[in-house]
């Protein structure tokens, strides 16, 4: 990977004694970003563009956080965590000119679900093909699908305006907050009377209640409901899951709302492109630089201390870590108001997902799906009703992984030639549900392997040659997600996406504007508005607030 080389070169340039002599005790920057997740890198890019001296400190030997691609088996590139792209804000893509730094996002066509009766249900980009496919299950649902899509489009249009804005604080009565609240109100009013009611219900209702309004076929509902529980410790019948579904719809690829794509070279190429852009603007990334402490003096941040004792100083520090890790692990609670600490402790961040990354020596067969069905190149599923998803969630509640798991599996190497040797394939399997702790106690290696086997068996039931084709497999439970990338409890969104933790309540009321009780200390990761996913919006919004506090207009979005 070219960027890795660049990063090393940069580190080598920066750390020799020459610079140490100028700053005998420590290096000094305008801003330090803790964590090279994609959001930390986005923040760093905007700050560097504005002329600040920026360094990003990453604990792992590689960058990207949950937006990472690594070769764990020769010739195969896994996207170890996130695997598909849609949410990444096009404005950021363009302002930072990421294509120039090697980023390319390639859309794929739809999804296909294998049903228990030996059939399949696929979705297509072509409207008529899609309608005829749904009508194989229900003529009524086929026509209602358009109404459902319009509803989702209206909700997307409404929310889109707020993704790259800082949530207004409804209690501050500052001019800026009042103005932003007014524009929120205006956009809401613009929805029209019926839609206003629907929108309020939308943010609190369950996915099942929403889908029951539109569809009668269990298969159709089961397929659509999948995106309402991804990364979420809730079932499709739990209130709040309708919003989670919207969260997965509101992205786009080249203006096609709801479309998903692959980042060429794996999701890690997003982080690589950001790091290259950062370096082009004079910023630095340091890997193997785990931050142990945020140094605060007189209520003001003044730098960080690394695990090996090295100190770096800056009057601005932004943390890409989730809200719990930031305030409870690397900060001293005594530097923070007690009520704030309590709220952070109560922040919901339950893990619910696992991931398998698999190297295959050939394309596994799926006899239920026609050979020429283009949806094979997109998401493949084996769950054909909401009921089954809810049962899978029941296992989570009992402190075990789902025995009939919901999987979102893709074989991106069918489209992306860079991921595996010709004719061989890389498979990514996202799994719902896996609890952060088991009823029997903490996860063990044996539990992890048993979890992996459960998933492989579930897929094997639909693909006779799948198991024989496996050459290597990486299995990740919430334990690995927490240990390797620092996602508390393995929650993929750095905190659950429920209304009590969205907008001006994310992460905690009163601190939704990327600031913290400590002056100069900011949050820029997915724990902040508008939340998780490879979106870049939290990072960009945080950069804007930081620049505003520094009195800089440049570098704004």
Q: Can you spell out the DSSP letters for 539-550?
A: HHHHHHHHHHHT
Closest distance to other proteins from the beta carbon of 528 (Å): 25
Closest distance to other proteins from the beta carbon of 274 (Å): 14
When asked if residue 169 is in the footprint of ligand FAD (CB under 6 A), the reply is no
Q: Which stretch binds other proteins (CB under 8 A): 11-19, 103-111, 492-500, 504-512?
A: 103-111
d(CA 14, CA 317): 20
Which of helix, strand or coil describes residue 233? coil
Q: Can you spell out the DSSP letters for 441-506?
A: BS--HHHHHHHHHHHHHHHHTT-TTHHHHEEEEEEE-HHHHHHHH--GGG-TTSS---GGGSGGGS
DSSP state of 515: B
Q: Which stretch binds other proteins (CB under 8 A): 17-25, 97-105, 433-441, 455-463?
A: 97-105
Complex with ligand FAD: residue 57 or 122, whichever CB lies closer: 57
Complex with ligand FAD: residue 43 or 385, whichever CB lies closer: 43
Residues 6+ apart with CB under 8 A from 469: 360, 361, 362, 364
Residue 125 contacts which entry, other proteins, ligand FAD, none (Cβ below 5-8 A, type-dependent): other proteins
When asked if residue 38 is in the footprint of ligand FAD (CB under 6 A), the reply is yes
Q: Which stretch binds other proteins (CB under 8 A): 32-40, 283-291, 413-421, 446-454?
A: 413-421
When asked if residue 226 is in the footprint of ligand FAD (CB under 6 A), the reply is no
The binder of ligand FAD chosen from 32, 44, 321, 389 (CB under 6 A): 321
Complex with ligand FAD: residue 268 or 555, whichever CB lies closer: 268
Closest distance to other proteins from the beta carbon of 260 (Å): 13
The binder of other proteins chosen from 213, 417, 444, 483 (CB under 8 A): 417
The binder of ligand FAD chosen from 3, 34, 134, 360 (CB under 6 A): 34
Complex with other proteins: residue 273 or 289, whichever CB lies closer: 273
Report the candidate in 155, 141, 157 with the shortest Cα–Cα distance to residue 223: 141
Residue 93 contacts which entry, other proteins, ligand FAD, none (Cβ below 5-8 A, type-dependent): other proteins
Do residues 393 and 363 touch, judged by C-beta distance below 8 A?
A: no
Q: What are the two backbone dihedrals, phi and then psi, of residue 476, each rounded to the nearest 5 degrees?
A: -125, 125
When asked if residue 5 is in the footprint of other proteins (CB under 8 A), the reply is no
Tokens coding 94:
């363009």
DSSP state of 206: B
- What mask of x and - would describe binding to other proteins in positions 53 to 92, judged by CB under 8 A? -------------------------------------x--
Complex with other proteins: residue 234 or 250, whichever CB lies closer: 250
The binder of other proteins chosen from 2, 75, 99, 192 (CB under 8 A): 99
Tokens coding 442:
């903490």
Complex with ligand FAD: residue 208 or 223, whichever CB lies closer: 223
State the Cα torsion 332-335-336-337 to the nearest 10°: 130
d(CA 221, CA 344): 36
Cβ atoms within 10 Å of 222's Cβ, excluding its own: 24
Do residues 274 and 96 touch, judged by C-beta distance below 8 A?
A: yes
Cβ atoms within 10 Å of 363's Cβ, excluding its own: 17
When asked if residue 365 is in the footprint of ligand FAD (CB under 6 A), the reply is no
When asked if residue 224 is in the footprint of ligand FAD (CB under 6 A), the reply is no
Burial 316-339 (b: 16+ CB within 10 A, else e): bbbbbbbbbbbbbebbeeebbeee
The binder of ligand FAD chosen from 10, 59, 92, 498 (CB under 6 A): 59
When asked if residue 65 is in the footprint of ligand FAD (CB under 6 A), the reply is yes
Longest dimension (CA), the chain: 76
How would you classify the pairing of strands 425-432 and 353-360?
antiparallel
Q: Which residue has the tokens 């998803």?
A: 389
When asked if residue 374 is in the footprint of other proteins (CB under 8 A), the reply is yes
Q: Which stretch binds ligand FAD (CB under 6 A): 167-175, 209-217, 467-475, 486-494?
A: 486-494
Do residues 410 and 85 touch, judged by C-beta distance below 8 A?
A: no
Cβ atoms within 10 Å of 292's Cβ, excluding its own: 14
When asked if residue 51 is in the footprint of other proteins (CB under 8 A), the reply is no
Complex with other proteins: residue 109 or 408, whichever CB lies closer: 109
Site for ligand FAD in 81-140 (CB under 6 A): 81-84, 87
When asked if residue 94 is in the footprint of other proteins (CB under 8 A), the reply is yes
The binder of other proteins chosen from 125, 257, 315, 328 (CB under 8 A): 125
When asked if residue 98 is in the footprint of other proteins (CB under 8 A), the reply is yes
State the Cα torsion 2-410-486-245 to the nearest 10°: 120
Contact footprint for ligand FAD (CB under 6 A): 34-40, 57-60, 65-67, 81-84, 87, 290-291, 320-321, 325, 330, 353, 355, 430, 481, 485-487, 492-494, 525-526, 532-534
Contact footprint for other proteins (CB under 8 A): 90, 93-94, 98-99, 104, 106-107, 109, 125-126, 253-256, 264, 374, 414-418, 422-423
């Amino acid at each position: 990977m070219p960027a890795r080389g660049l990063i090393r070169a940069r580190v080598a340039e920066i750390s020799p004694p020459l610079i140490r002599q100028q700053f005998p005790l420590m290096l000094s920057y305008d801003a330090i970003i803790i964590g090279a997740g994609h959001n930390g890198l986005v923040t760093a890019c905007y700050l560097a563009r504005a002329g600040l001296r920026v360094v990003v400190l990453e604990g792992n030997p590689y960058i990207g956080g949950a937006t990472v691609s690594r070769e764990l088996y020769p010739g195969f590139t896994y996207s170890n965590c996130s695997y598909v792209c849609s949410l990444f804000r096009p404005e950021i893509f363009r302002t930072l000119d990421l294509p120039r730094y090697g980023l390319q996002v390639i859309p794929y066509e739809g999804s296909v679900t294998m049903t228990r009766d030996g059939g399949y249900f696929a979705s297509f980009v072509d409207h008529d093909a899609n309608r005829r496919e749904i009508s194989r299950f229900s003529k009524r649902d086929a026509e209602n699908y358009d109404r459902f899509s319009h509803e989702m489009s209206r909700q997307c249009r409404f929310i889109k305006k707020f993704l790259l804005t800082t949530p207004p604080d409804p209690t501050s009565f500052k001019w800026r907050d009042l103005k932003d609240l007014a524009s929120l109100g205006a956009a809401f009013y613009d929805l029209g009377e019926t839609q206003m009611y629907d929108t309020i219900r939308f943010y609190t209702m369950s996915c099942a209640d929403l889908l029951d309004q539109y569809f009668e076929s269990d298969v159709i509902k089961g397929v659509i409901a999948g995106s309402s529980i991804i990364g979420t410790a809730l079932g499709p019948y739990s209130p709040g899951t309708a919003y989670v579904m919207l969260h997965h719809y509101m992205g786009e690829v080249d203006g096609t709302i709801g479309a998903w794509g692959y980042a060429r070279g794996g999701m890690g190429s997003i982080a690589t492109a950001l790091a290259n852009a950062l370096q082009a603007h004079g910023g630095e990334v340091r890997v193997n630089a785990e931050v142990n402490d945020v140094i605060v003096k007189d209520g003001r941040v003044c730098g960080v201390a690394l695990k090996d004792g090295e100190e770096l100083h800056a009057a601005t520090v932004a943390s890409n870590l989730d809200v719990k890790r930031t305030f409870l692990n690397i900060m001293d609670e005594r530097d923070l108001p007690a009520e704030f600490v309590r709220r952070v402790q109560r922040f919901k961040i339950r893990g619910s997902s696992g991931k398998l990354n698999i190297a295959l020596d050939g394309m596994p067969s799926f006899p239920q799906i026609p050979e020429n069905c283009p949806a094979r190149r997109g998401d493949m599923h084996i769950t054909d009703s909401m009921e089954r998803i809810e049962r899978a969630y029941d296992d989570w509640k009992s402190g075990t992984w789902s025995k009939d798991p919901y999987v979102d599996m893709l074989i991106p190497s069918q489209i992306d030639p860079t991921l595996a040797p010709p004719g061989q394939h890389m498979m990514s399997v996202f799994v719902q549900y896996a609890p952060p702790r088991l009823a029997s106690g903490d996860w063990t290696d044996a539990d992890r392997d048993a979890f992996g086997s459960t998933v492989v068996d579930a897929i094997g039931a639909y693909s006779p040659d799948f198991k024989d084709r496996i050459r290597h497999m990486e299995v990740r439970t919430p334990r690995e997600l927490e240990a390797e990338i620092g996602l508390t409890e393995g929650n993929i969104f750095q905190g659950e996406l429920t209304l009590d933790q969205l907008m001006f309540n994310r992460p905690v009321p009163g601190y939704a504007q990327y600031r913290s009780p400590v002056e100069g200390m900011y949050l820029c990761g997915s724990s902040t508005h508008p939340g998780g996913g490879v979106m870049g919006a939290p990072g960009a919004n945080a950069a804007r607030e930081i620049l505003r506090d520094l009195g800089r207009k440049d570098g704004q979005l």
